[in-house]
Structure 1
Amino acid sequence: MVLTVSPERIELPPGSEVTLRYQTWADYEALLESRHDDAAIKIQFNAYTQEISIMAPLAGHGRRIDSLVDLVKALLRHRGRDWDSSHPVTLKRFQAAGAEPDACFYIQNWQAVLGKDRIDLSEDLPPDLAIEMDLTSLTDLAIYRALNVPEVWIYRQGSLAIHAIAAEGYRASSTSPTFPDIDVKNLLPQYVERSWAAGSSVALREFEQLLKSL
């Protein structure tokens, strides 16, 4: 098992997580550089706790997030809405926090990020929706609150948790502010797991047929 974390190189076996304490923004930026845009490694920073978390997702992580992203896009198409999406992506607010959601969607302000290679939330608007697949580690919602992301979804063990931003942090919600008229909390996990068992295209096609009947 190779486990290396340094300003020069990061190597973690799939499914592992490392937490570094008493870290600074400069430490965080150095680790981002040492990763060399390797999407297989996720790095997040919380200035309040002075912690950096580094994660190497499992293979099942990528398959499920791809399926969930496809389902969200199908919902947006069904509603005739435009969007701009990224996965993975690094979201940063200078000296405060950094996170790498598995996927994020700009919907209300999709045109504001067109043509941008990187997003700095000290200057740019946050995405309307961030999605995390918690198979390797647990999502730190405090980081997303520092980034001011309005809505965060966390998928874990066949269940979708919806978190809507509030003054005190996030509140758990049974409905999505982005899709208030669709029961995404109960509906989407069925098709994410269906994609695992029957294939991504099969699950997506069945979901699109369902949407036509709603």
Structure 2
Amino acid sequence: MNSPVLEKPTRQNSVLLYNLTWDALERLDVELEGTGARLIYLDGFLEITAPFFEEHEEPKCTVSRLIEAFMRERGIRFYIRGSTTLGKRKDGARREPDESYSLGTKKPIPDLVLEITVTSGGISKLEIYKRLKVPEVWFWEDGTISAYCLQENGYERVAQSSLLPDLDLVVLAQYSRMADQYDAVNEFTQVIRGM
């Protein structure tokens, strides 16, 4: 199977369904409510993933707190969107980001999406976010942050965020790897105050 909507082979903790209508997606969403399963949909492909807990949630929370500390220290108004479901039938795409933020004002589509990658494969997240016109997507994987900015022809990997150009992503990644979240946020806050 060769499809532009799929990345590498699908994950071990997921099921991939083909030729699924939007109506079928909505029915499954209701049936799986409360299970913790995440639904990712693009052009008839549906990936249902089992929840990850500590290996996923801990880095998500740490990176999120670090980003929020930076924005607070810089006086950047932001609104946490969390893992609000993005995408509608007209988009042919749907995804729940791990974390998301609107900067400046509340918006229906967040400015920044954070994805924590603990496994690879499945439906292309960047293809979904491109369709939804999310300006920036950051991936955290094994303590490294990769940032992608939306351009006219799709996402381009960048070394520095367009939304938060003063935030050093290498330093952010360094503090995301600290074992103690509380210490990581405190020490990171001291570092950014000195910048």
Give TM-score scaled by structure 2 length: 0.86
* Matches for 1:59-208 after TM superposition, within 5 Å: 59-95=54-90, 96-110=92-106, 112=107, 125-138=108-121, 140-184=125-169, 186-194=170-178, 197=179, 199-208=180-189
In structure 1, what residue type is equivalent to 2:30? E
Query: Is it true that 1:44 corresponds to 2:12 in the alignment?
Result: no
Output the aligned Cα RMSD. 1.6
Equivalent-residue separation in structure 1 for 2:135 and 2:104 (angstroms): 11
CA distance in 2, matches of 1:178, 1:104: 13
Q: Distance in 2 between matches of 1:37 and 1:76?
A: 32
Q: Is the 8 A contact 1:45 1:98 kept in 2?
A: yes
Deviations 1:26-79 (A, max 9, x none): 1221222122254x32111102xx201111243210011000110110011011
Provide structure 1 residue ranges, at least 5 long, that are not aligned to the other structure.
1-14, 113-124
1:57/1:36 CA distance change after superposition, 3 Å:
closer
C-alpha separation in 1, matches of 2:132 and 2:181: 32
Distance (whole Å) between structure 2 residues aligned to residue 159 and residue 93 of structure 1? 31
Check the 8 A contact 2:100/2:112 in 1, yes or no: yes
Report the 3-state secondary structure (helix = DSSP H, G, I; strand = E; otherwise coil) of the residue aligned with 1:92.
Answer: coil
Distance, in Å, in 1 between the alignment partners of 2:34 and 2:82 is 12
Check whether the contact 1:56–1:136 (CA below 8 A) recurs between aligned residues: no
**What fraction of aligned residue pairs are identical, expressed as a percent?**
28
TM-score (norm 1): 0.79
**Matched positions, count:** 180
Q: How far is 1:88 from its partner?
A: 2.2
The residue identity in structure 2 corresponding to 1:33 is V
Secondary structure of the 2:113 match is: strand
Shift, 1:94, TM fit: 2.2
- What is the CA deviation profile of residues 62-108 of structure 1, one whole-angstrom value per residue up to 9, with x for unaligned ones? 01100011011001101112111132221122232101100000113
| Equivalent position amino acid for 2:188 in 1 | F
SS class of match (1:28): helix
Deviations 1:149-201 (A, max 9, x none): 110001111211101001211010111011112212x111111110xx2x111
Counterpart secondary structure, 2:97: coil
Distance, in Å, in 2 between the alignment partners of 1:152 and 1:135 is 16
